[in-house]
């Protein structure tokens, strides 16, 4: 089996390190970062002989087969395009891009160069999300029609670097209105609506109430309608004072409901992932809650058989399985489930929300990202 050589752009890409190390015939051959100290520190965690680069394009000239892009979000599309032009496969961190035009360019580049592009939306790979996905497939919730996802993460301390300089997050994340970071919520809930896609969105907020001098709303709620008539409620808040709650979800179907822990798993007694199903009503015919993990036998087999090393990669083994799927896609030449079109659809929800929220929740149409998309559809329809 041919060894696959990986280049990592950005020290945050080390989150994939443990997963990559557990896959046979994969070598982390190169590392790139503008900050020389961070680069050297990161390289020590990989191996002494890893090639180090300050310039991304220089790394692309090496003999790597694929690149993991974990740089600031405004770099994602330019670097992904450069990598595919250089003949490299790409796994890219969220979000996919920072403008609608970038998303169209990204699709065009994948189609032109026929390279693997995988969206690194790792929340999809958590055991809870995968378990609910299998429960949906088994029909335990009946027909799902409504879902919620929340990403509540106070990041005000990241607006300025430790040296006092303004962080990129002050501009590309918190320097704009709307839901700038929706995909950790959208990705998981869309796993429970297979074959569906988001067609329109409306975003509302309570306005800008933060004391940090940035434009980001103090919480946004984005309502998404899908092609099959399902409804998603996506909430993001990254500046309000509150504990982290970065993975809250709910799924309502005709035969039952799933609701995740709300306040951070294990922090409050009784705050656990739970389900309530029509098939398990009490003796008097009422519905009641039971633990999600009562259905652990429906976990995908690989999660039930996860090794301790795979689990230690993060998210209950999810951070290993996402990397494994990328490597398998590179080996087979078959685009992964988390392809460029899903990356662009989910990212577009956030980009279009910035227009919606300043126009009193105006409904915005989400383009149908797909292969050979007609030119007239590559537009923002107001």
C-alpha 117/C-alpha 101 separation (Å) is 18
CA torsion 263→168→177→356, rounded to 10°?
-100
Which of 218, 72, 93 lies closest to 158, judged by CA? 72
What is this structure's pTM?
Answer: 0.96
Q: Which residues contact 381 (CB under 8 A, 6 or more apart)?
A: 364, 365
Give the Cα-Cα-Cα angle 109, 113, 114 (nearest 5 degrees).
105
Task: Let me know: does 27 contact 38? Beta carbons within 8 Å.
Answer: no
Alpha carbons 189 and 127: distance in angstroms, whole number: 13
Per-residue pLDDT tens over the stretch 206-241: 999 999 999 999 999 999 999 999 999 999 999 999
Give pLDDT tens digits for 64-111.
999 999 999 999 999 999 999 999 999 999 999 999 999 999 999 999
Would you state the pLDDT for residue 264? 62
Q: Where are the domains of the chain?
A: 121-298+339-382
Rounded CA-CA distance 318/123 in Å is 8
* Superfamily for the 121-298+339-382 domain: Dihydrodipicolinate Reductase; domain 2 (3.30.360.10)
Residues 145-200 pLDDT 10s: 999 999 999 999 999 999 999 999 999 999 999 999 999 999 999 999 999 999 99
Q: Which residues pair with 261 in a beta bridge?
A: none
């Amino acid at each position: 089996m041919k060894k696959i050589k990986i280049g990592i752009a950005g020290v945050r890409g080390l989150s994939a390190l443990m997963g990559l190390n557990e896959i046979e015939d994969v070598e982390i051959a190169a590392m790139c970062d503008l900050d020389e100290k961070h680069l050297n520190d990161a390289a020590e965690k990989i191996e002494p002989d890893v090639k180090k680069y300050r310039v991304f394009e220089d790394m692309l000239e090496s003999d790597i087969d694929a690149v993991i892009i974990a740089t600031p979000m405004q770099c994602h599309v330019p670097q992904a395009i450069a990598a595919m032009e250089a003949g490299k496969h790409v796994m890219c961190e969220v979000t996919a891009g920072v403008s609608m035009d970038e998303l169209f360019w990204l699709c065009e580049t994948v189609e032109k160069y026929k390279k693997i592009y995988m969206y690194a939306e790792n929340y999809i790979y958590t055991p809870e999300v995968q378990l609910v996905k299998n429960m949906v497939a088994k029909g335990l919730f009946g027909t799902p029609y409504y879902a919620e996802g929340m990403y509540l993460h106070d990041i005000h301390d990241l607006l300025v670097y430790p040296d006092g300089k303004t962080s990129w997050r002050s501009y590309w994340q918190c320097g704009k209105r709307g839901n700038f970071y929706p995909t950790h919520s959208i990705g998981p809930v869309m796993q429970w609506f297979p074959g569906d896609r988001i067609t329109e969105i409306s975003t509302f907020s309570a306005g800008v109430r933060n004391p940090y001098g940035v434009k980001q709303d103090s919480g946004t709620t984005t309502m998404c309608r899908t092609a099959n008539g399902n409804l998603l409620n996506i909430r993001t808040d990254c500046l309000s004072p509150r504990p982290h709650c970065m993975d809250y979800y709910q799924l309502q179907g005709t035969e039952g409901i799933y609701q995740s822990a709300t306040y951070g798993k294990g922090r409050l007694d009784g705050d656990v992932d739970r389900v309530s199903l029509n098939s398990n009503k009490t003796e008097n015919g009422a519905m009641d809650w039971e633990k999600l993990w009562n259905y652990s036998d429906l976990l995908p087999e690989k999660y039930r058989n996860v090794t301790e090393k795979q689990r230690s990669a993060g998210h209950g083994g999810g951070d290993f399985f996402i990397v494994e799927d990328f490597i398998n896609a590179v080996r087979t030449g078959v685009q992964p489930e988390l392809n460029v079109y899903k990356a662009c659809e989910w990212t577009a929800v956030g980009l279009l929300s910035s227009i919606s929220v300043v126009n009193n929740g105006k409904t915005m149409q989400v383009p149908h990202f797909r292969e050979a998309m007609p030119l007239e559809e590559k537009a923002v329809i107001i």
